[in-house]
A and B are shown apart, each in its own frame.
Chain A
Amino acid sequence: MDARRREVLKTGGGVLALAAAAGIIRPGEALAQEWNKAAFETKSVAETVKALGGRGSTPSSAIEITAPDIAENGAVVPIAVESKLPRTQALAILIEKNPNTLSADFEIPAGTDPFVSTRVKMGETSNVYALVIADGKYFHAVKEIKVTIGGCGG
């Protein structure tokens, strides 16, 4: 966790500092909003897990991905992730064949259901991973979504 934070500060600090200097955001806001640049630039599932502070992840049947088998429009693919793992702390959506693997990373505080539903862009048919951090350990589920018309390029 410490290494992850250091990475965020190292890579994200520059941009935020520049933005703060330019008066776009006030320093207080910059500190409150971290963005893990390194994780969002990863190009594979293994790299993303590492950038999110894990050494690897274990497949788990306690994670459910709800998404269509075939997405006609890759620009809008509905994906819901639900974890039944005790002490789920975070859920992330990874799209293996997108230009950048990590799509979204959600932190789940105690009292919030380990469930999120959103919509993502997919450039082509790909495996979609739901990565879950529960009790400090990393787990995942995977589902292939076939895309008829890609939604990433132009």
Chain B
Amino acid sequence: MADPMRIRANMTGDKVEVKVLMAHEMETGLRRDAGGNAIPAHFIRNVSVTYGGKTVLSAQWGTSVSRNPFLHFRFNGGKPGEKVMITWLDNKGEKRTDEAVIAGGG
């Protein structure tokens, strides 16, 4: 089971600013190990972020997103104390969902 994401969701004015760090190797499939064998690709392909049951961001990724991916974006209509939910799904079918409570204005 993959490690939890680190999520920060803060109100900035009337927007929710979301910053996420995911724990994932994001292996490209192009590298070889010490014995010369290809290391199979293992990477996050889908990310979705929901708030109040509504998708506020969805992404499709390839192998060139960096290891332990970082994502930062903003959406309108969120309220402090409510939750943002983030899910990723990788090419091996592994999946992880984490959530964060939106912190008050700064």
Q: Is A88 an interface residue when CB atoms closer than 8 A count as contact?
A: no
Residues of A close to B66: CB separation below 8 A: 75-77, 118-121, 151
Residues of B close to A119: CB separation below 8 A: 65-66, 69-70
Q: Is B100 an interface residue when CB atoms closer than 8 A count as contact?
A: no
Residues of B close to A117: CB separation below 8 A: 70-73
Residues of A close to B72: CB separation below 8 A: 80, 116-118
**Contact, CB under 8 Å: A99 / B56:** no
**Contact, CB under 8 Å: A121 / B65:** yes
Q: How many residues of A contact B (CB 8 A)?
A: 42
Q: Is B57 an interface residue when CB atoms closer than 8 A count as contact?
A: yes
Q: Is A46 an interface residue when CB atoms closer than 8 A count as contact?
A: no
**Contact, CB under 8 Å: A154 / B59:** no
Residues of B close to A120: CB separation below 8 A: 64-66
Q: Is B45 an interface residue when CB atoms closer than 8 A count as contact?
A: yes
> B: which residues have CB within 8 A of A?
15, 26, 28, 30-32, 39, 45-46, 48, 54-67, 69-77, 89, 92-93, 95
